[in-house]
Each structure stands twice: as structure tokens, then as C-alpha cells.
Amino acid sequence: MGKPASNIIPSHIAVIMDGNGRWAKSKGLPRSKGHEAGVKSLQEFIKYAGKLGIKYITIYAFSSENWLRPESEVKTLMNLLRKYLKSELKTAQKNEVRYRFIGDLFRLDADIRDLIRDIETLTKDKQGLTLNIALSYGGKDEIVTAARALATEVKEGRLTPDAINEETFASKLLTYPAPYPDLLIRTSGEQRISNFLLWQLAYTEMVFVDTLWPDFSAKDLDFAINEFQNRKRRFGKIED
Ligand code: FPP
């Protein structure tokens, strides 16, 4: 399959990277190997997305519900995250990716939070792709937190209830000021949102592919973008 036409490349792609466990199982490997392969796949994906000129990627790396997985799996994922952040920190200077982290980051270990702070600081002026990494993230929680921030401003007399509208609300979301995702890709055949970017996905085109995340390749991204390009986005209106 050829590269997608660049004039209608989505500006923002959200990704639910699912199927690491099943990939490992299908090869008779421990789940940890699936997550390791998932990190490699992510790194290749970001490189290719940058080449295509995509401006924003938001990935679901660890959900608030993932804390409920067995302790050993949470530990494996956190160790992998440490390793990933250290390696990105080493190479960040050489590329144009700006890293941002969204979610309830206070639940992460202090050393991981330090790595996050370092990589955000180091890359804050990068002009290429913005990579939002959702960690300890839940969409409902994000909305509740935004409501609480607005309520506090009202209580302190800095905002009137009448001034609360979609724009003021959206400005409290963790992805702000990134545009909403144009395209959501979920791998591994599951077809649900799983508490990811609930507000932001209101008019997002969704593409579900059977490929397990560690096998997701440039070819799969081309496919998803081609699907996107064949959709008619009407945003609730009728075609003119
Ligand atoms: C889904 O696979 C994947 C996750 C829960 C985590 C996603 C994580 C990665 C791709 C790698 C880690 C990324 C970083 C930045 C550390 P699953 O375990 O739900 O797979 P299954 O549904 O087949 O069991």
C-alpha cells in the first residue's frame, strides 16, 4: 500500500495500543515480552508518524484501571516505563519530538515523575510531533478534575457559572491546547474506548484493526489513514 496523500493527513491521532499480552501468549512467551515488543513498536510508530507529518499523537500507555492488574504486571510495566523514559531522555536531543504526560501522575513513583519532568523540560521547545503519553489516565477522572477546577474558580469569585461553556471547560482538559484527535486507532480487534479521552473523541473517526500492537507496522498506519481519508466528516451537519 502506498503512503497516504499528505494533504489530508490527520493532525492528531490517538492510539489504544492493545494486544501485547495476546501477542506474547501466541508465541509461548511471558506477558512481559509482549510489553517489551510493544515499546519497540511504539518507537517505530512515532518515527513513521513524524515522517508523515502528523503533529500530535496521544497514546494510552497505562490506564487508571491498569493499576488493578496483578502487582507483578504493574511492576513489569513500571520498570519498562522507567527503561523507556531513560532511553528516550538519551535520544530526545537528536529528534524533534515534544513529550507531554497526562494522567494522575502523582500515583507514579517519585523517580518516574522526575524522569517525566526532565523529558518534558528537555523537549518543551521542540517543533516536530507532540507526543502525549497517557499514564495513570482515566477520561472520567479528567472530566471530574476539570469540573473541580472550574468550581474552585467560581468559589473564589474568578469565574461566574454563566461563563462556563465548552471552551472554558475544554481549557481545563489535560490535552489542552492540542486540537481534538481526528483519528482513533485501536489494535487487537477490541472495539471500545475504555475510558480514553471521553470528551475529546466526540467527533473522532475510529479505526479498529485486528493487528496486535507489537505487530503494528507502517503498513497498518497507512491503512488506518487511508480509512480516515475515505470517511466523510460532517460533525453533525449535512453535506454542503
Ligand atoms: C495492552 O496490552 C497494553 C497495555 C496495557 C499497556 C500499553 C503499553 C505498551 C505498549 C508498552 C508500554 C509503554 C510504555 C510507554 C511503557 P494488554 O496487556 O492489554 O494485552 P492483552 O489485551 O492482549 O492482554
Residue 126 zone, left/alpha/beta (φ > 0; ψ -120 to 50; rest): beta
Half-sphere exposure of 180 (CA within 13 A, CB side): 16
pLDDT at 1: 45
- Count CB neighbours of 80 within 10 A: 17
How many angstroms separate the most distant Cα atoms in the chain?
60
What pTM was estimated for this model as a whole? 0.94
* 2 confidence band (pLDDT: 50, 70, 90): low
Closest CA to 19 of 137, 222, 194: 194
Query: Which residues sit with their C-beta closer than 6 Å to ligand 1?
Result: 17-22, 35, 38-39, 42, 61-62, 66, 80-81, 84, 213
From the CA of 35, how far away is ligand 1's center (Å)?
Answer: 6
Q: Could you tell which of 15, 16, 18 is best to mutate to test the pocket of ligand 1, judged by most ligand atoms within 8 Å of the CB?
A: 18
Q: What is the CATH number of domain 8-229?
A: 3.40.1180.10
CA distances from 224 to 80, 101, 164, 208 (A): 27, 25, 36, 8
From the CA of 77, how far away is ligand 1's center (Å)?
Answer: 8
Domain spans, the chain = 8-229
The interaxial angle of helices 71-91 and 31-52, nearest 10 deg, is 30
pLDDT at position 6 over 60: no
18 is catalytic: yes
More confidently predicted of 1 and 160: 160
95 is catalytic: no
pLDDT in tens, 158-200: 999 999 999 999 999 999 999 999 999 999 999 999 999 999 9
